[in-house]
Chain A
Amino acid sequence: MKYLDEFRAREPVQRCAAEIRRVVTRPWTLMEVCGGQTHSIVKHSLEALLPPDISLIHGPGCPVCVTPVDMLDKAHQIAADPRVIFCTFGDMLRVPGSTTDLFGVKARGADVRIVYSPLDVLEIAAANPDREVVFFAVGFETTAPANAMAVYQAKLRKLGNVSMLVSHVLVPPAIAAILSSSTNRVQGFLAAGHVCAIMGTREYIPLAQQYRVPIVVTGFEPLDILQGVLMCVRQLEQGRHEVENQYSRVVAEAGNNHAKGMIAEVFTVVERGWRGIGSIPASGLGLSDAYRDFDALKRFHVEESNPADVGECISGEVLQGIRKPNQCPAFGTRCTPEHPLGATMVSSEGACAAYYHYRSPTPT
């Protein structure tokens, strides 16, 4: 397929890996931010092509994995309401809250439906005027314009039975949180290409300058990732810390202004909790005042939950790159994709699930 096969071809991938080996003179630790990149790295065994001096650590870039437990508990309460049709992306079904998951709520009779696009929610609402249709709006900047468009159109079409449980997260504040942590080991970032397709590259410039780290906006195919690593390592070896764009075929410096405009119309920046990391100021999106009527938390009464102890799950450390999934004592034994203890094992883009699917459970 065009724009996929060329970026998976064996020969240029090998050539790029050889160039990385030629350039590297000392150890460097890089983080790929996005779960899609983690998936690609593990699936294509890209780490095996890199010199041992380069360590890749897997960042918090999976919105499913970072959705906080109390938000899941709220979703489960709303979904259990017999008036409600609860719509969600399929990835969210098996993410554990403190007592159950959406699958469990559905098994007990709730009307939980998987949607492919947030626009599907509007059609379900139009077809079921006597029901309350709630959408679990999660995602990074990549997904925010689509979810914002659904709210915008719901208002335009006067669909009074639509609301959203919004748990959107933003990438740059998470990068800042990782860099300012005392345990930080990350020396360079591969930024998430599709997040930047929306937001552009400029908001990373102050981060690169303040923390003196190279940030390379990177795509998702094997060649993209290796080229991103090469650009990042070149900067490190030369003592530079700039924002560079490997994924220029998709990412414009200014991002997508139409999409950004829709986000600004519907959402506003809020403080947001991140599963495994904790609350980060100005790190999420919530509905702005003009769209507060569409807030499911205003429409339904939900009890505040006291999320249970996370037990032996170390997904918080995995999400921050402090430990690798296979360093978790439960990995592959008590915790598997069929019986996940933490969200990073549930989502196919979670680091634990990626490790489970593509490599053996022995620590490396």
Chain B
Amino acid sequence: MCLAIPGKIASITNSQPLTRAGKVDFGGVVKEINLAFVPEADIGDYVIAHVGFAIARVSEAEARRTLGELQGDAR
């Protein structure tokens, strides 16, 4: 039940701090997600969503670093 998946913020539908929300695209399935816990996340950013709330913004730089480390491992 801790399932949490990455999706891309397509639009911001509410910008009040507590009820900040947006449409988030999970590979074609779009859901309204509360964004109050990720005030730094904006349109185009990827967030990890769980039970209707974004819990973290995905860092592209860190994702690349993780994938890159593995390339290094092979050498």
Residue on A nearest B17 in the bound complex, by CB: A258
Contacting residues, chain A, for B52 (C-beta < 8 A): 116-120, 146
Question: Are A146 and B66 within 8 A (Cβ)?
Answer: no
The residue among B3, B50, B51, B73 with the most chain A CB atoms within 10 A of its own CB is B51
**Does A246 belong to the interface (CB within 8 Å)?**
yes
Q: CA–CA, A251 to B57, complex, Å? A: 9
Contacting residues, chain B, for A213 (C-beta < 8 A): none
Question: Are B46 and A3 within 8 A (Cβ)?
Answer: yes
- B45-75 vs A, CB cutoff 8 Å, 1 = contact: the mask equals 0101011110110111011011101110110
**Does B30 belong to the interface (CB within 8 Å)?**
no
Chain B residues at the A interface, C-beta cutoff of 8 Å: 1-6, 8, 18-19, 26-27, 34, 36-39, 46, 48, 50-53, 55-56, 58-60, 62-63, 65-67, 69-71, 73-74
* Interface range on chain A (Cβ under 8 Å from partner): 35 or more
Give min CB distance, A269 to chain B, whole Å: 19
Give min CB distance, B9 to chain A, whole Å: 12
- If A223-B67, A250-B48, A258-B38 are given as contacts, then 14 extra A-B residue pairs at C-beta distance below 8 Å, sorted by A number, are A1-B27, A12-B67, A15-B73, A35-B1, A64-B1, A139-B1, A146-B34, A146-B51, A192-B2, A194-B2, A194-B50, A198-B55, A227-B70, A252-B56
Which applies to chain A's interface (DSSP): helix, strand, loop or mixed? helix
Question: Are B37 and A142 within 8 A (Cβ)?
Answer: no
Contacting residues, chain A, for B37 (C-beta < 8 A): 145, 256, 258-259, 262
Contacts known (A146-B50, A194-B48, A197-B56); A227 close to B66, Cβ less than 8 A:
yes
Which applies to chain B's interface (DSSP): helix, strand, loop or mixed? mixed
Contacting residues, chain B, for A230 (C-beta < 8 A): 73
Task: Please name the 3 residue pairs, one residue from A and one from B, whose CB atoms are nearest each other, closest first.
Answer: A117-B52, A249-B63, A249-B62
Question: Are B34 and A249 within 8 A (Cβ)?
Answer: no
Q: CA–CA, A145 to B56, complex, Å? A: 12
Contacting residues, chain A, for B50 (C-beta < 8 A): 142-143, 146, 194
Question: Are B56 and A256 within 8 A (Cβ)?
Answer: yes
Q: CA–CA, A3 to B19, complex, Å? A: 26
Residue on A nearest B56 in the bound complex, by CB: A197
**Contact sample, A vs B, 6 pairs, CB 8 Å cutoff:** A89-B51, A118-B52, A146-B50, A248-B59, A256-B55, A258-B36
